[in-house]
Structure formats: structure tokens, C-alpha cells
Structure 1
Amino acid sequence: MAGCSSSTDANVDPPPSSVPKHEKAAGPTQKKDKAPVLTVGKNASYDAVSSTTRAKATLSITFHSAKYVTASEISAGKPKGRFAVITLEVTNNGSRDGAFHPYGFMKWEGGDRVAQGVATLYSTGTQSVDSTYHPGESATGDIVLDVPRKGGAVSYYDGTGTASLTFVMPAK
């Protein structure tokens, strides 16, 4: 069957040459109609669009860290790939309420793999960043992802059809 694989090496990390080109960005970038690309330690802003009113609020996201963990480290079940924990700080810099809801709206892609949803409902016990933020509000917390392998990029879609932000995942 084309596109399907039952290979036992699905968890084997790809060689560095199979990393998508956009992963090599040094920091946040934004081209016309392209999502800002964040590496660990960087931040970027984007316009969060209300799904009901279509009003925009400016949210700033700081990508504090990313690490790969075992299921026992986060008291979780068996992953489909491997668990990664990303720590984000979300701040509403706008004058209207803005939402950041990552669960169900984050997709990983890398190499020859099809983009796939990766946010889980597992928690590390930190403050949740899945919330609606009033102007000036901020929260820092972890999101547990189940990614196919190390590396790649995770994009966040706030419902506008195109990625709002892209997080470059570490290769190690």
C-alpha cells in the first residue's frame, strides 16, 4: 500500500540531511503569508483570529525549551513515536482578547513524512497555556507532543487555514 509503513525503524532518527530546509532558520522570520519560525530561545508575534468574530489580537509566543522525554518521566501511556515537551510563554500584547488553543491544532512535519497532529492531553503539571488571554495577560507552561521522531518542525494553526507559528524541534 502506497504511503503506509509498518517498518520497525519508524522511531529511528533521520540523518541530518533529511531535515527540512526551513528548520535551519537562525531565529524568527516572517515572509509574506508565512508563519514566523521560532527556534528555542526566540519569540515572535502573530495575529490570533477569533473563530466567532474574526477579530484579531496580537499574541507573543516565546519558545523557552524543547526536550524529548520518556513516557515514565511524564506518567503517560506509550507514545506512537516519542514524547517531546515544549515550554512556551504566551502573552497578549493586543487590545482585544486572544486565544491560544494548541490541542488539536499542532502538526509535526519533517523529511518524507506527511504532516500529522501531535499535541496530546498529557500534562507535566505546569500551568496550562491553552487559554483565552485578556490584554496584558501571560502564562508559561508545557505542551506534551507525541512526535514521530526527533527533529522536524511543529506548526500551530489557530483556525485560519495556514500555520500561525512554526517551532523548530531539536535534532537531539
Structure 2
Amino acid sequence: MPGSRSRGRAVILKRRRIFVAGEGVSETSFLAAVQEIANGTLGADVANVHLVREDLKGGDPLSMAKKAVSAARRDAANRGAHRSLWAFLDADRTNPVKAAVEAILAPEGIRLVLQNPCFEGLLLHHFVGRERAMPATCADAEAALRTLWPTYRKPPIVRDIRDRVGVEDLRRYGRIEAADYADFLSAIGIL
């Protein structure tokens, strides 16, 4: 833990660099909040997580997958290797071309996390009683989210996410979600 002492010297834990690309500002805000939650609530053995967040600035799923690969390569060349690599994309647009997206990401070791059906659906799943909600459309997901968070605005700011989603919310949904999102939470030490 930063500030700990070993034989009179401070011990500085090496950051666990994890690359995470997201479709846009909403995802990168969420990921910044997740990093703050992890580093603020977990023990010293896991509390030095650094999510290298990349805003893919939207587009079609195939072009975003290619941007994620380029960004991950560039960051690794400039700053060093990543412990793991992830891309958060909306399921509603990615599912029709999922195999092609994974064919772009997989050779680079980037795991795909599908937000079902979109970012608001992923965020909704962190609220008690909504972990298994399956909104049919992004509009449905946003409407359901607004019943729990009436002042929700897109893109959300980190503080607002952090004020509404805590480590137990991440863990609760992560235990239910058997897909790549649970693996992502495990990689950063939350599960």
C-alpha cells in the first residue's frame, strides 16, 4: 500500500494497468467511477488498479473494434504492457456482427463486454432488483434507469455514478452476470 514501510523505506505498489475501451464518454465515465470504487474500497492487495480508458468516440462496431486494437497497441508501446484488455460495446448494434468484432479483438487479447442492450442497460443492472432486467431497446433501458435515477443525463459524470453505484452493487451484478463483465470485475479485483 502506498505509504507502507518495509525496512524503513516506503513500498510503492506497482499499478495494475488494464486497458478498457468504451464506445463513448458514458463508458469512460463509468470506468473511471469503477476505478475510484475499486481503489477506494478494496484492500491494499488489490487497490492499485489503473484502468487505461479509451473513448472510441462511437461508430459502427467493426470500426470501434479496430480503434480499440490501435489504441491498445499504441498505449502498450508508449507505456508498457497491460494485465488484461477489454472493449465495452452495445449489444444491440454489436450482436449482428459479433463474430467479426471478436475476430478483430481476440488476436490482440481484447475481451468483448456486451452492454445489453446498451450502456444504460449495463448501468441499470447495478441497481437492486434490476440485475436481471432485460430492456428490449436502449430507450426502454434509459426509461427504466430514469425511474431509479430521475436526474440521469447522458453522459453521466463520474461523481454521479460513484454516488449511485458502489462496490457491493458491482459485486452483486457481477455474481449474476456469468459473461465477460464478471471476468472484467475479477480482473480488477472486485470479484
TM-score grouping bracket, smaller chain normalisation: under 0.3
Q: Taking CA–CA contacts closer than 8 Å with sequence separation of 6 or more, which of the two structures ends up with the larger relative contact order?
A: 1
TM-score of the superposed pair, with normalisation by structure 2: 0.23
Question: Which structure's CA Rg is the greater one?
Answer: 2
